[in-house]
Structure 1
Amino acid sequence: MSEILTKGWAAYDEAANFKPITFKRAALKDDEILLKTLYCGICHSDIHAARNEWGVTKYPIVPGHEIVGEVVQVGKNVKEFEIGNKAGIGCLINSCGECEACLNSNEQFCSKGAVWTYNSVDYFNDNEITKGGYSNYIKVHKDFAINIPENAPLELIAPLFCAGITTYSPLKFSKVSKGMDVAIAGFGGLGVMAFKYAKAMGANVSVIARNDTKKQIALELGASNYYNDINNVDKRFDVIISTIPSKYDVLAYARVLKYGGEMAIVGLPPIDEKVSISLNALIRVSHKKIYGSLIGGIKETKEMLEFSLKHEIYPEVKIISAEDINKAYDDLLNNSSSFRYVIKFDE
C-alpha cells in the first residue's frame, strides 16, 4: 500500500493561526483502518497544544482527537470493521499492548508511551509525528477505533471521545452512585458533560462556578445548587470533579468535601500557570483525597459510549466548517462556552 495523501488544517507557530496543509501519512498497515473524517470536535486541549502552552508542541501541528469517520480502507488482519462502517477515534491511536497498564485496559498509561492522536511520536510508523482529526483522512490501529452503531447522531458523538471519557472516567473511578452529593467545578464544555453523567448515575449534582453566566443553564439541567464563588459554598460533597482549565486554589475546593471525599482534577491549565499546595494546609484538609484523571482506556471508552447512547447524554454542539477554526478558537479563548465546536468535513 502507498502513502496516504492527506489534507488538513495546521498551526505553524504559537500564534495558532490555522492554515491549510497537505501531508502524507504512512501506508496503511495490516492491523490498521483508514477513516474519512466526517466530524471532529475542538477540545480546549487543542488550543493549549496549538499555542504551545504545555511547551511540547512540534510544528506544524494538526490537532483533533474527537473524531468520527467512515471506514474507507482496512488492513488484511482487520475483522472488526468493514468499509462503510462508522468509527470513532479519541486521544489514542496505539500503545505497546504488552505492559501492565495496557494489559489492564489502561492504555493511556502505557509504560513505553501511548501513541497520542496528534503531536506524538508514532514508534509503529518510523517515529513520524502524529497529525490529528483536523484533516480529511486519519488512520488508527484497529484496537483503538470505536464502533459506532447505525443511526447514532454522529455530530453529537464526536466530542464524547475526549470530553465524554475525560469526565466519565473519574466519576466511575470514584464510584459515583445514586444519592451521592457531587459538585462540578467549572461549567464549560467539560463541566456540562460531567454534570450530565453524574446526574444519570443518580447523584445530586451542584455546580461551583466563578460567576453567574451559566446559572440558568445549570438550573435547567437540574442542578441542586449553584454557587458563583467557592467561598460561598455551604454544603459538603462526596465527590468534586474539577474541570477548571486555569490556576485556582485547589485546597479551597478540597475543604468542601465530606470526610473521606474525593476530588478529581481533569482541567489542564497552561504550564506557566503553576499551582502550589502548602503541605501544612494540605494536612489540615485531613482524610480527603485529591487525584488527577486523564482519560480512560479503550474498554472504558466503549462503555462510556454505550452509557451515553442509552441515556442520550451528548454535549451541546455548534457545527462549523474547517474554514471557521480560527473564529472558533478566538471565541473559546475569549468566552467560556458551554457547548463544543464540531468541525464538519464536506467533500
Structure 2
Amino acid sequence: MNRTSVPAYAAPAPKAPLERTTIERRELGEHDILIDIKFAGICHSDIHTVRAEWGDGGHFPLVPGHEIAGVVSEVGPGVTRYAVGDRVGVGCFVDSCRECENCEADLQQYCTGELGQVDTYSAIGRDGLPTQGGYSTHLVIDENYALRIPDSLPLDAAAPLLCAGITLYSPLARRQAGPGKKVAVVGLGGLGHMGVKIAHAMGAEVTVLSRTLRKKDDGLRLGADHYHATSDPATFEKLANSFDLIVNTVSTQLDLNAYLGLLRTDGTLVQLGVPEHPLAVAPFALIGNRRTLAGSKIGGLQETQEMLDFCGEHGLASDIEVISADRINEAYERVLAGDVRYRFVIDTATI
C-alpha cells in the first residue's frame, strides 16, 4: 500500500465540531499491517482532547479515537503475527521507544524513552508526523502494537475494551480482585460498567457507589451485589471500613477523604478519572488505617491481550449504542449529559 488518503472525521481546531475530511495514512512498512476499521468507540478522553480541556497541546486537525476494532486487510512483507482477515484491535497507543526499562517489562504505557508512549492520536510518531485516530476507515500500525480480538466477541461491543476494558482490568487484576475481596466501583458509566462486569467475573463481591440510585437496576444486572447512593450521607457511615479496593472512574471533584474512609486496613483507592482540578487528601485519611491512594492508566500490550482473552472467555463486552458518523457531535453532547448506556460506538462504514 502506498501512502493514501482515507475518509475520517476530525476537529479542525480546538473546541470545533467534528466534520468529515480526508487524512493520509503512511505507506505500509516491513512490519506494518493495514486495518480496515469497522468500529470506533467514543471515549470521554476524545472529548477532553478535542475541546482542549487538558491543555492546548493537541495537533489539529485532529482525528480522535483509541477504541478501535477492525480486520487486517493487508500486511507488510515482514509481518509474522497477523494475516489478512484477522480480527484486531488498537488501543490508546501505537508505538513506544521499545528499549527503556518499562517497555522491556511490557509496560509500554509508562515508556520513559525519548519517543515515549505514542498516543493513537494527537501525538508525534517516529515519522515526525501527528498521529490520527480511529474515527476513520483505515489505520496503518506496526503489528506489535495491535491486539487480537477473540472470535467470541462482536467487534462493535469489543471496541471499547481497548480503553475502558483495560483501564478497569489492570487495577483489578494487579490488586487481585477475586473471591473474598470486597470491591467498590465509583460511577456507573463507560468505565464503571466494565469495572462491575470484570470484578464480578473475577469473583469479587462488587458494590457500586453512584450519586443516585437511578441506575441501580442496571448495576445489579451487570453483576453488582450492592448499590448505594453517595448523595446520602448515611452511605459513608454504613460502609465505613468496608472495602479492600475502590476504583474511582469519575472525573468530578469528589471528596477523596470520604471515600478513603470506606477502606479497610491496608485497602487501596485507585484513581482512574481525571478531574479538571487537583483533589485534596488529608494525611490522616491515609495514616489512620494504613490506606493507599494509587493511580493507574490503561495497560501494556501483554496485559491488554490478557484482558481481551479474559473477556472473550467470560463473554464480557461493553453495553453500547452504535451510531453513524454524522451523529458524532450529538453523541459528544449526550456523553456530557450522561445520556448513554454505556458507550457510543461509531460504525465507520458510515464515514
Post-superposition CA distance 1:58-101 (Å, at most 9, x none): 22111001101111221111011112222110111111111110
Match of 1:159 in 2: 160
Paired amino acid for 1:29 = G
* Secondary structure at the counterpart of residue 62 of structure 2: coil
Distance 2:339 2:19 in 1: 25
Paired amino acid for 1:188 = G
Distance 2:257 2:59 in 1: 34
* Secondary structure at the counterpart of residue 102 of structure 1: helix
Cα RMSD for the two superposed structures: 1.6
Distance 2:150 2:206 in 1: 30
Distance 1:58 1:163 in 2: 24
Match of 1:214 in 2: 215
Match of 1:263 in 2: 269
Contact 1:243 1:267 in 2 (8 A): yes
Paired amino acid for 2:349 = D
Match of 1:30 in 2: 30
* Secondary structure at the counterpart of residue 335 of structure 2: helix
* Secondary structure at the counterpart of residue 129 of structure 1: coil
Say yes or no: does 1:249 pair with 2:255.
Answer: yes
Post-superposition CA distance 1:145-181 (Å, at most 9, x none): 1122446311111111101000000001111111211
Distance 1:92 1:155 in 2: 20
Match of 2:19 in 1: 19
* Secondary structure at the counterpart of residue 218 of structure 1: helix
Contact 1:188 1:336 in 2 (8 A): no
Structure 1 residues 284 and 79 mapped into 2: Cα distance closer, same or farther (>3 Å)?
A: closer
Paired amino acid for 1:319 = V
1:343 corresponds to which of 326, 343, 346: 346
Match of 1:277 in 2: 281
Match of 1:111 in 2: 112
Say yes or no: does 1:87 pair with 2:93.
Answer: no
Match of 2:4 in 1: 4
Contact 1:251 1:285 in 2 (8 A): no
* Secondary structure at the counterpart of residue 170 of structure 1: helix
* Secondary structure at the counterpart of residue 349 of structure 2: coil
Gaps spanning 5+ residues in structure 1: where? none
Identity percentage of aligned residues: 38
Say yes or no: does 1:49 pair with 2:49.
Answer: yes
* Secondary structure at the counterpart of residue 189 of structure 1: coil
2:332 corresponds to which of 315, 329, 332: 329
1:120 corresponds to which of 123, 133, 139: 123
Structure 1 residues 16 and 312 mapped into 2: Cα distance closer, same or farther (>3 Å)?
A: farther
Contact 2:37 2:69 in 1 (8 A): yes
Post-superposition CA distance 1:237-273 (Å, at most 9, x none): 0000100112111121111000000111111223xx2
Paired amino acid for 2:259 = Y
Say yes or no: does 1:238 pair with 2:244.
Answer: yes
Distance 2:307 2:318 in 1: 13
Deviation at 1:307, TM superposition (A): 0.5
Paired amino acid for 1:269 = P
Runs of 4+ with deviation above 6 angstroms:
none
Match of 2:194 in 1: 193
Contact 1:177 1:201 in 2 (8 A): yes
What TM-score comes out, normalization by structure 2 length? 0.93
Contact 2:152 2:312 in 1 (8 A): no
* Secondary structure at the counterpart of residue 240 of structure 1: strand
Post-superposition CA distance 1:102-125 (Å, at most 9, x none): 111101011121111001111x22
Contact 1:36 1:72 in 2 (8 A): yes
What TM-score comes out, normalization by structure 1 length? 0.94
Gaps spanning 5+ residues in structure 2: where? none
Distance 2:180 2:340 in 1: 29
Deviation at 1:284, TM superposition (A): 4.4
Contact 1:161 1:301 in 2 (8 A): yes
* Secondary structure at the counterpart of residue 78 of structure 1: coil
